[in-house]
Structure 1
């Protein structure tokens, strides 16, 4: 039976853990949340609590060799560069003690500058990238057999774009939506664990990029949510993130190719 370790089992990690259980994998996971720890244990996941912002040892012994590791520990904006450097150096030091075949680190398309243009995996201008996300990617990229997956804006389940604009003024409605549905993220991750990957960086983005205004209107109608108080375009940056590399490798057809369907 194949074995997966998830570090930082958040919203994506928990959903992916359940998918891999259905795929007959054994799953280990860390969380900083005690309630989630008990929920994961109840679902048949080998869970333990650990905070990689603390200089403490993980109280877990006799870990097996893992077929894959998914690291979804975030590089959040609220943390300083120094805090993030310490966080990911702790993650790196821990993983250097773990026997694994493949490591996928979940980063974000937020690494790209807010400017007009199409951004694919070939973009290399470090000076224009988010320093915090770039730092995290660089540290995780030092580990062997590591791959960076930059996720688009995540929606699905109870996370609905229109929810965040009910009764509020939307100033970004004329921007293209660089989003992806949770179900497609999990399916692409599952495929990526089973097959060899030739490149080190991949984007996970739905192939269609409607305007955010249209996504809000579509999801508000679908889920019977209140509309924004107004659309007041103030920031119309035309940034599109290309995510063709992974689906092309796997000949993958998105379950939700357009955010209008979320």
Structure 2
């Protein structure tokens, strides 16, 4: 039985290892990049490469050919600049408008930043996708869900692994706030494993939180992470009013029967993957 063709929009830190894993599993994979030099890299890994950039810098025929698949993994993170929020939504809308009928399933990479600090554990129902949401990502989740009934959203926690070592994030900084707040982290290998599980099990029409089930404190985690790299540890301020959220991955574990490779971010820091 022929495996589906999957288009991965954005073959960067997460998209490239995901696309590689899907190729290994026998899927036909199309991958996009904004860098001409990366075209050969994708091709060498068995990924059909597409040079796509937004807005309107790519020939429409290229986008149409790229989207000629059964599944789209939308993995383009928005800029941190709030001024570019409108252009990100517009770009997402232009991609969704170009979807062919043959593309029935969407997998959208979102973020746990959609949750405010409510000083408790949060689940997926604590932030609902709406067209009028204050959060850019919640508005984009809504667009995705309206485009296809078979749309699944994955809200990732803080990303670590590969070129992202958390020891660099706060090293040497002073008066860092919220030392006792829990961290919500996830390793690259678990990011890929979760996305592959969703695709293999065809878990569509769901929103999942995705972060490690254990939540050490910011002080403990970032101090050890900096020390792991031989960098100056951050100096934390005294704890004032505690502001935090503890992301629950319980739904993901239940629905996908997924076992985290790195359930403890602290233990992960001393693993061979770093």
Task: Verify same fold: TM over 0.5.
Answer: yes
**1:117 Cα shift?**
2.4
1:73-123: CA deviation from partner (whole Å, max 9, x where unpaired) = 2233314442223111112112x2262242100011111113322221112
Given candidates 157, 164, 170, the residue that maps to 1:159 is 164
Moved more, 36-45 or 188-197: 36-45
- Residue 17 of structure 1 aligns with which residue? 19
1:164-199: CA deviation from partner (whole Å, max 9, x where unpaired) = 222212324322101111101111111110113265
Q: Aligned pairs, how many?
A: 260
- Residue 271 of structure 2 aligns with which residue? none
Contact 2:105 2:204 in 1 (8 A): no
1:7-48: CA deviation from partner (whole Å, max 9, x where unpaired) = 122211011111112222221011112233332122221111
What's the RMSD between the two structures over aligned residues? 2.5
Distance 2:188 2:216 in 1: 18
Distance 2:19 2:257 in 1: 23
Q: 1:208 to 1:43 in 2, by over 3 A?
A: same
Distance 2:214 2:166 in 1: 16
Distance 1:204 1:9 in 2: 20
Distance 1:162 1:259 in 2: 12
Distance 2:85 2:168 in 1: 31
Contact 2:106 2:144 in 1 (8 A): no
Distance 2:129 2:18 in 1: 30
Contact 2:208 2:249 in 1 (8 A): yes
Q: 1:163 to 1:124 in 2, by over 3 A?
A: closer
Contact 2:78 2:85 in 1 (8 A): no
Does residue 48 of structure 2 align to residue 42 of structure 1? no
5+ residue gaps, structure 2, are 269-274
Q: 1:64 to 1:141 in 2, by over 3 A?
A: closer
- Residue 97 of structure 1 aligns with which residue? 100
Contact 1:171 1:235 in 2 (8 A): no
- Residue 153 of structure 2 aligns with which residue? 148
5+ residue gaps, structure 1, are none
Does residue 247 of structure 2 align to residue 247 of structure 1? no
Contact 1:178 1:240 in 2 (8 A): yes
Tell me which stretches of 4 or more aligned residues in structure 1 moved more than 6 Å. none
- Residue 115 of structure 2 aligns with which residue? 112
3-state DSSP of counterpart to 1:206: coil
**1:125 Cα shift?**
5.8
Pairing of 1:1-262 with structure 2 (within 5 A): 1-2=2-3, 3-54=5-56, 56-60=58-62, 66-78=69-81, 79-94=83-98, 96-97=99-100, 99-124=102-127, 130-144=134-148, 145-169=150-174, 170-197=176-203, 199-228=205-234, 230-233=235-238, 236-262=242-268
Distance 2:134 2:219 in 1: 26
